[in-house]
Structure 1
């Protein structure tokens, strides 16, 4: 009997030492969460909730223990318990996991275009297959609200801002020359391939304190972290031929691209409005290397080089000169020769530690661009270099909150030759910034930031506060507000002659309302921009009126100061529907802007020549499954823009006709000798509309002539062949 007594004693002692834990797990509204995992950390003691959310289990643990509750889609729950009773009863309410589907997202002034974001607008193949974009990143952005098309100049023109007021940023690094070299009255493309990037973010104002030197907008491009297709690819079209090779292992990958282009065959088929003496010819290459240095560390290195040549006859306002007279007295034709060499390299390193609570984003880049240019036999060479380094640290806090801080330094070297005189300058530019995102609740969030900058050339500092707020008004809707100050160095052409100028400034105020539901997006945004400290140029002699020179490529020679000012105000509408009709994706945008400025050579407050009041885009794409073909159609409308008429008493009050453009594109998935291929074609200005972008007058003011597109109706065909069995392009990408 003795062993039996011992067993009974042990059983009684053990039973007395156990603690019963029971209770119920619900969401914050009290609804039961069946299948939730409830356990004591560091032990095997636990249970799973039943259909009513109830749980019950015993433990031998004494004193204190930590109860943990986990359920998919909800925030983990932990609570320290004092196990000094026979039974502990608990009611646990779990908070829904913070995601972009149930949490307010700060959206005012920004259009995200990333596969990873809920606000996805344009993916890389979206850009390529959008009619009217010409497979150009900035061309696609011009079809989003807030931007407009200015056909005779390159750049992003956003909400009444000039092309110089927008910056292109790759992996946090400013790109010094994102477009091919500027030539008179020709709109140049961007230099970068859309497939380099995993996503884009187009800001129409009120952007983060991380970025500066842009009064209107920043276009953020983030390069891919890994190659998508191993093997060799070949691209052929009417303008160029290229080879691309991708190779990837578990830890590293490399992508190499080489190409040669000559536009003479294309121009032979598409009638040109420009007299080409040597059609643009170019050669280039790029190399991308990626290395996973650890489970969290990633090093990316990108480098590219291009060399291009062209020669053309350019019409210059005037009635006399050494050039060839244009029939009808429109002006003088002068020969323009250009040889451009451009190099850009950037490297970034990202990492995290402390269980992902600390994030590092660092980078270094160098760019060099040289234009050996002759205008009517006279040298007009240009050279610019930019070296920059950047470090950003982010601390992730509980409840989706975060704190970000960092800095960047730039070394800029510019040289310009004009009229036999050489100008040069150097600028050491530095910036520091800090920003925090605060989620007061799932419905209310804010972003507060500040940025300070210093320019050695100006010998001045600035301080720019930034603020964004967002409030979730419903399950699928929210309102956002953004405000802040933005600074930018004056055009360096002014600084060659006057380094005593101050930063130019713009103050932004943006209010946004957005609804996203079932693959449909509606968005309305209103804005106000106040411009201050703009550069004014005085070209007249003392006591005489200023002279206005319409040549956009002239070298400024007048006295300058920062007494300029202005405003821009208006609203944007955006609607996108990807669900109503199966396979059809379309969006509609309308932008209205009212803007006036007193700046540059302007004599009075007036609407700038690059700004139009109304801009409309209708974009539609349809996938035909049986044909394995995607087709797209785009209609773009731009209302008339101001131009200078020397015979009119009122300054800059004449308007050009409205610009209409209908474009078509199609792409087909197929196989060529067993190799996957994509065939594509595009037609721009399908209706052959005789669009006019601006008018100019001869020096005597007697003759007006139109500046229009490089060609009226144009077309383009090509193909991409993937010489790899693993290569794939998904239907949804087209």
Structure 2
């Protein structure tokens, strides 16, 4: 009975067991070489096998009709194919080698990447914080890279012959309306954002992607972190401000909050100032970041910040007979942005969307005159990307609503602009040695009722395992400065054409890079301040409001080259880099009566940065030496032909040596970071530019005075404690 029962059950199981299909095949690379150990399986099942030493596989499956076959192998792109089951013919599968920094060319012309290991690492957040002379300011650190001009008395990024208005700051794809604290006469303002907010930084010195616009020279792309770096409360205190922050993370979400108050009285009491402050800068603010992973691949990020500051000073004013003018300012700034990213179909489709809103207002007076201003920007952005292995196709759109208001000596000006753009971009690998990125961008501005189309293309060719050359060309447009649009809405877009050739070699933590460029400027705004039919009368007052007739008759050029060398290998623990930039540029724009080199240009810029971490004492030392050649300035006492007198004088060379140090220690298992810095160790009395007082008492000669830094030699000390046993500091990044 027992034996018969067992035989019966075996027979029954044999009859009801589903029919099986045997899948066989071979996995190779594109050249037909076998790939042993590749993982081959059917999606949604446990049916599969690994390839043998000859690349062959064989396994049974009970699935019927159709199924999706997946193949994966380290160093190669994942393979996916829908197959019909029941066919006994062997399958032949060829995998494509995955892109990486060693075997694939990467588009890099005009761009410095940071914290993106697949490309090249230039400046990480810790680089920015620990670099002497940068003062933990992102844009100040960018000024130590090739392609920039250091303009000490003005705010912004000045790139390859471009003014500060020609560079834009972008956070997670969204343009930041007011990335710097409000400007003051002859004082350079800091950026509003902290380095550790961001996981990556890409600084474009030209030829940038069709995804971005409204910048004739460059864009600084900042990507916020996807999760908090620490857990618990951190407290910071220095000579300028005190702050507290809180971080908390769960499996699917995290939150970060900060609050701070600053008053520069303690610092100014110790560091002699070259400015007559009537109200020492005082500021307070807060920020909040929330991150949520609603799905496996989706990520929602919300960020908001608010700041409030006030200050007062008597600044040197060439237009005032007294020589000085009282300046008062109260600034309030609010910025919020939200982004959602997701992917599906095994990562072949990528979504990036965002919304942001910013509002900034300055209650500003020059003497008793009201020069208040405000700006407001709301924007939305949507980008969809389709990946085809290493290749990709991207399409996107963005829309902005911008409102600008300005009061000038009691006269109110205002404008509203609905700006929109569509863009398309593809990246194609024509083999392992050649890559092409091509794109096109169309923009419309309602305030001038104009539309433009800007083509862009970049090519890169791999010359060796660690080296490549890149070539980039593109057209870039920008809406004219709003000060001109207040009085003339018939102006056209300003335009710049970029041509860039790049060579780079990255090997063994050493980077060598040389890049040459040419920029052609067209349709620049010109202002005519003289009488009709008479030559333009140049007014060197930097605080003047344009009142002359304007058109788009300006033009210009910028050409030059940059050299970059970074070595993190030769001396253990020592990281240093050297940059040199040369630019030759002239323009006919603004009030210029003839083509000339603008006042914000220094033809030669050199930077030497050294950093050494001493492991035994947990201390990082950084030394930065910068040299900039003299800049043009207007000398009204010169007589003769304009070509020989207009902006032909030069300031002295600007020389700065800075030192910073940071020390990491532990108090009751809580991390403590102490830091100190000294700027301009040699106490060099640098001159940024010269200005002239008005002629008086019938004497045509005007008196020159120098404009320099707000202090010649300064120092700064402070510290931070992380009140959490879970807090971490990556010593390898110091």
SS of equivalent to 2:226: coil
Quote the Cα distance in structure 1 between the aligned partners of 2:349 and 2:58: 38
Q: Which moved more, 1:396-405 or 1:583-592?
A: 396-405
1:376–1:353 Cα change, 3 Å: same
Contact 2:100 2:118 in 1 (8 A): no
Task: Summarize the Cα distance change of 1:505–1:729 in structure 2 as closer, same or farther, 3 Å threshold.
Answer: same
SS where residue 664 of structure 2 aligns?
Answer: strand
Q: Find the partner of 1:458 among 431, 442, 448.
A: 448
- Give the match for residue 255 of structure 2: 254
How many residues matched? 714
**TM-score calculated relative to the size of structure 1:** 0.91
Contact conserved, 1:115 with 1:123, CA < 8 A, in 2?
Answer: no
- The DSSP-based 3-state class of the residue aligned with 2:555 is strand
CA distance in 2, matches of 1:599, 1:723: 55
Which residue of the other structure, out of 566, 570, 577, is the alignment partner of 2:556? Answer: 566
Per the alignment, residue 621 of structure 2 pairs with 631
Give unmatched runs, 5+ long, in structure 1.
1-16, 324-331
Instruction: Measure how far apart 1:296 and its partner are.
Output: 2.0
Aligned residue for 2:687?
A: 692
Aligned partners of 1:256, 1:65: CA distance in 2, in Å? 48
The match for 2:401 among 396, 411, 416 is 411
Is 1:145 equivalent to 2:146 in the alignment? yes
Distance 2:690 2:479 in 1: 30
Alignment of 1:666-685 (within 5 A): 666-685=661-680
Superimposed CA distance per residue, residues 600-657 of structure 1 (whole angstroms, 9 cap, x where no aligned partner): 1111111100011111111111111101111111111111111111122321111111
Contact 1:424–1:496 (CA<8 Å) still a contact in 2? yes
TM-score by length of 2: 0.91
Q: Is the 8 A contact 1:63 1:84 kept in 2?
A: no
Q: 1:379 to 1:67 in 2, by over 3 A?
A: closer
Match for residue 77 of structure 2 among 67, 75, 87:
75
Q: Displacement, 1:177?
A: 0.8
The reply to whether residue 343 of structure 1 matches residue 343 of structure 2 is no
Counterpart of 1:328 in structure 2 is none
Contact 2:348 2:388 in 1 (8 A): no
Q: Does 1:604 align with 2:605?
A: no
Matches of 2:300 and 2:24 in 1, distance apart?
Answer: 50
Moved more, 56-65 or 102-111: 56-65
Equivalent of 1:529 in 519, 537, 553 = 519
Q: Is 1:657 the equivalent of 2:652?
A: yes
In structure 1, the residue matched to 2:13 is none
Whether contact under 8 Å (1:150, 1:610) holds in the other structure is yes
| Residues in 2 aligned to 1:239 and 1:39: alpha-carbon distance in whole angstroms | 61
Distance 1:334 1:62 in 2: 86
Per-residue CA distance 1:81-100 (angstroms, 9 max, x = gap): 99888xx7787654322234
1:174-573 aligned within 5 A: 174-318=175-319, 321=321, 323=322, 332-394=323-385, 396-573=386-563
Q: Root-mean-square deviation (CA), in Å?
A: 2.9
Closer, same or farther: CA 78–564 of 1 in aligned 2, 3 Å: closer
Secondary structure of the structure 2 residue equivalent to 1:397: strand
Partners of 1:56 and 1:512 lie apart in 2 by 49
The C-alpha deviation readout for 1:190-215, integer Å capped at 9, x for no partner, is: 01111111111101111111111100
Provide closer, same or farther for how the CA distance between residues 82 and 692 of structure 1 changes in structure 2, counting only shifts above 3 A: same
Task: Check the 8 A contact 1:67/1:81 in 2, yes or no.
Answer: no
CA contact (8 A) 1:101 1:118 kept: no
Q: Is the 8 A contact 1:663 1:685 kept in 2?
A: yes
On the 8 A contact 2:636/2:702 being kept in 1, the answer is no
Q: Which sits farther off after the overlay, 152-161 or 579-588?
A: 579-588
Instruction: Give the C-alpha shift of residue 545 in structure 1.
Output: 3.2
Q: In the aligned structure 2, how far is the partner of 1:373 from the partner of 1:61?
A: 75
Correspondence for 1:3: none
Post-superposition CA distance 1:242-267 (Å, at most 9, x none): 01011111222211111000111101
Closer, same or farther: CA 488–621 of 1 in aligned 2, 3 Å? same
Alignment deviations for residues 38-62 of structure 1 (CA, whole Å, 9 cap, x no partner): 5688987765455565667799999
In 2, the alpha carbon distance for the partners of 1:70 and 1:287 equals 41
1:155 is matched with 156
What displacement does 1:20 show?
Answer: 9.4
Distance 2:206 2:251 in 1: 40
Please, which moves more after superposition, 541-550 or 363-372? 541-550
Q: What is the CA-CA distance between 1:179 and the residue it aligns to?
A: 0.7
| Cα 1:402/1:333, change in 2 over 3 Å | same
Listed one character per residue, the Cα deviations across residues 663-698 of structure 1 (whole Å, up to 9, x for unaligned) are 111111112344211111111111111111111112
- Aligned twin of 1:110: 111
Please, which runs of 5 or more residues in structure 2 have no aligned partner? 1-18, 696-700
Structure 1, residues 323-343: CA drift from partner, whole Å, max 9, x if none? 4xxxxxxxx111111111111
- Closer, same or farther in 2 for the Cα pair 1:702/1:724, shift >3 Å? same
- Residue equivalent to 1:705: 705
Aligned to 1:13: none
How far apart, in 1, do the equivalents of 2:533 and 2:653 lie? 39
Asked if the contact 2:210/2:423 (under 8 Å) is kept, the reply is yes
The separation in 2 between residues aligned to 1:370 and 1:346, in whole angstroms, is 18
Q: Aligned partners of 1:276 and 1:42: how far apart in 2? A: 71
| Mapping 1:50-89, distance limit 5 Å | 50-51=52-53, 70-76=72-78
Q: Are the aligned partners of 1:37 and 1:49 in contact in 2 as well (CA < 8 Å)?
A: yes
